[in-house]
């Protein structure tokens, strides 16, 4: 096992046959993958360059007609095999993820189950009818809408969910009949390589799934410029999303952008306080705070503000911090830029009058990337943390008085991914759900995700939806057919 000191990660992955150690079309260059818990290298991965990125598109383009023309039942059977192989390798995949991403191992196991669920969902969704009739408005004409795969799709994914972000895109695209070129994050290529190896074993024909590791700007730049790449699906920051949106304009690509978030977590007086606190812990500290759905601002109605602050502090002080394989509540952050951001957000808030309720700094005894879970009270709206994604275990709290006031404050952001509301008043819940400008609204709970729901944001949190039927349709074009038999 990975935690057996006599067996290092590389040997273990090689033994499991999960780590060929090279992306498709890799050249001589090497990328070192580091364990964020220790800073130690865990593997070297051979990487591709611009020529490799082009070769991947050549392969995907050559494989497209065969894959798109295959019976949906046959495509579905391969997806089902991939699903079974992912679940069969769950423990290995979870440990690969911990080694390169750092998250607690039970969260990693949960992510593998979540990742597999998209493959199963789209194996089934691929079988749904792809032709729709239209009531004719022209005499003698017969009309249909055909849904056809768009072509080669480029999939670009982040490090915080290194497996699920790949399958959420790839299974939908493959189920629709597209071939794919995948670029995972430089921080987490091993999870991507392991999924690619399992895809090979599942029997996807040559060229259907291509995983290319290398410098993001070079590889993805080749793909955005290539007219043969018809769709781009990106998950990552709004900043890079904007760049890829611009880069895709010249070739008018179909786009899905799943970008950043800045979720408000709103607690009204009369809410179930115990539940609100328990859900607040999940909404902020899951994935060590490195989650696009992470609550980034807590607004609590004044009569229950002090009580909520006290109970939230008590709950947060019980959270454990440590290396992922020890299965703590919170693992290391991904890199030193993430640590610098936590410190900058805390310093800025404190300079503007905020109080540190708990935490506030690096857990030096564990290593430079471990950050104590932190709560800040009385944080003014002008503070950077109330506007920018923190992407770490720091939570700002602020009191509010009126419903209209909190709606205006919650909506005063360019982000619009998810909002959390805690109240037991049904009319208030209805009004809040209507008023919040977010792609997803969670009421009295935190977990909202799953393969059958359309995941995505409003405003600058993105374009399009992933998951559900909509996730597959994003990789299709509508062809309108009008036939005259007369």
Residues engaged in binding ligand NAD (CB under 6 A)? 156, 158-161, 183, 185, 216-217, 220, 235-237, 240, 243-244, 258-261, 292, 389, 391, 417, 462
C-beta of residue 192 within 8 angstroms of C-beta of residue 209: no
Beta strands in 284-341 (DSSP E): 295-301
The residues annotated with a catalytic role in the active site are: 258, 292
**What tokens were used for 225?**
């410029």
CA angle, 446 then 239 then 409, to 5°: 50
CB of 461 to ligand NAD, least distance (A): 6
CB of 219 to ligand NAD, least distance (A): 8
* Residue 121 neighbours by CB under 8 Å, 6+ apart: 171, 451, 452, 467
If the CB atoms of residues 237 and 433 are measured against ligand NAD, the closer one turns out to be 237
- Tell me the C-alpha distance between 415 and 59, whole Å: 37
- Residue 257: left if φ>0, alpha if ψ -120 to 50, beta else—which one? beta
If the CB atoms of residues 399 and 439 are measured against ligand NAD, the closer one turns out to be 439
CB of 162 to ligand NAD, least distance (A): 9
Q: What is the DSSP letter of 485?
A: -
CB of 215 to ligand NAD, least distance (A): 9
If the CB atoms of residues 216 and 278 are measured against ligand NAD, the closer one turns out to be 216
Q: What is the DSSP letter of 204?
A: P
Q: CB count, 10 Å around CB of 366?
A: 17
Question: Any long-range contacts for 438-443 (C-beta under 8 Å, 24+ apart)?
Answer: 438/263, 439/465, 440/293, 442/418
If the CB atoms of residues 195 and 309 are measured against ligand NAD, the closer one turns out to be 195
Residue by residue, DSSP assigns 441-457 as EEES-S----TTS-B--
Q: Which of 290, 287, 282, 281 is nearest to 315 (CA)?
A: 281
Q: What is the DSSP letter of 22?
A: B
CB of 186 to ligand NAD, least distance (A): 7
**173 alpha-carbon distance from chain centroid:** 16
Residue nearest to ligand NAD (CB): 236
CB of 261 to ligand NAD, least distance (A): 5
| Residue 371 exposure: Cα atoms within 13 Å on the Cβ side | 31
C-beta of residue 45 within 8 angstroms of C-beta of residue 30: yes
* Residue 412 neighbours by CB under 8 Å, 6+ apart: 381
Q: Which of 341, 345, 355 is nearest to 383 (CA)?
A: 345
CB of 290 to ligand NAD, least distance (A): 7
- Tell me the C-alpha distance between 198 and 191, whole Å: 11
- Tell me the C-alpha distance between 188 and 238, whole Å: 20
CB of 125 to ligand NAD, least distance (A): 19
- Tell me the C-alpha distance between 209 and 25, whole Å: 12
C-beta of residue 52 within 8 angstroms of C-beta of residue 212: yes
**What tokens were used for 284?**
């902020």
């Amino acid at each position: 096992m990975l935690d057996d000191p006599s067996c290092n990660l590389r040997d273990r992955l090689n033994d499991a046959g999960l780590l060929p150690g090279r992306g498709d079309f890799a050249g001589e260059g090497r990328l070192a993958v580091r364990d964020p818990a220790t800073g130690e290298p865990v593997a070297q991965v051979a990487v591709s360059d611009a020529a490799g990125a082009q070769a991947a598109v050549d392969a995907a383009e050559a494989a497209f007609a065969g894959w798109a023309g295959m019976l949906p039942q046959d495509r579905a059977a391969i997806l089902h095999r991939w699903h079974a192989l992912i679940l069969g390798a769950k423990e290995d995949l979870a440990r690969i993820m911990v080694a390169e991403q750092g998250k607690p191992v039970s969260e990693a196991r949960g992510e593998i189950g979540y990742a597999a669920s998209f493959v199963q969902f789209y194996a089934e969704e691929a079988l749904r009818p792809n032709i729709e009739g239209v009531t004719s408005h022209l005499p003698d004409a017969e009309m249909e809408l055909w849904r056809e795969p768009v072509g080669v799709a480029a999939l670009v994914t982040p490090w915080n969910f290194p497996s699920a972000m790949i399958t959420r895109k790839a299974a939908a695209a493959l189920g629709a009949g597209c071939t794919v070129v995948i670029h995972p994050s430089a921080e987490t290529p091993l999870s991507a390589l392991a999924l690619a190896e399992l895809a090979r074993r599942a029997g996807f024909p040559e060229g259907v799934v291509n995983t290319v590791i290398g410098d993001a700007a070079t590889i993805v730049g080749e793909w955005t410029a290539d007219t043969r790449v018809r769709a781009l699906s990106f998950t990552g920051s709004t900043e890079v999303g904007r760049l890829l949106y611009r880069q895709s304009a010249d070739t008018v690509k179909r786009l899905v952008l799943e970008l950043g978030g800045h979720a408000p977590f709103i607690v009204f007086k009369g809410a179930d306080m115990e539940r609100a606190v328990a859900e607040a812990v999940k909404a902020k500290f899951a994935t060590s705070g490195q989650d696009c759905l992470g609550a980034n601002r807590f607004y609590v109605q004044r009569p229950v503000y002090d009580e909520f602050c006290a109970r939230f502090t008590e709950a947060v002080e019980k959270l454990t911090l440590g290396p992922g394989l020890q299965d703590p509540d919170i693992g290391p952050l991904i890199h030193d830029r993430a640590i610098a951001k936590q410190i900058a957000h805390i310093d800025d808030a404190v300079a503007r009058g905020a109080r540190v309720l708990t935490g506030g700094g690096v857990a030096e005894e564990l290593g430079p990337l471990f950050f104590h879970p932190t709560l800040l009270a009385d944080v003014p709206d002008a503070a950077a943390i109330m506007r920018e994604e923190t992407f770490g275990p720091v939570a700002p709290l602020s009191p509010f008085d009126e419903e209209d006031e909190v709606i205006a404050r919650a909506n005063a952001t360019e982000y619009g991914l998810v909002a959390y509301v805690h109240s037991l008043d049904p009319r208030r819940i209805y009004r809040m759900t209507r008023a919040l400008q977010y792609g997803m609204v969670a009421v009295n709970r935190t977990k909202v995700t799953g393969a059958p729901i359309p995941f995505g944001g409003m405003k600058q949190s993105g374009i399009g939806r992933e998951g559900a039927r909509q996730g597959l349709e994003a990789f299709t074009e509508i062809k309108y057919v009008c036939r005259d038999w007369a």
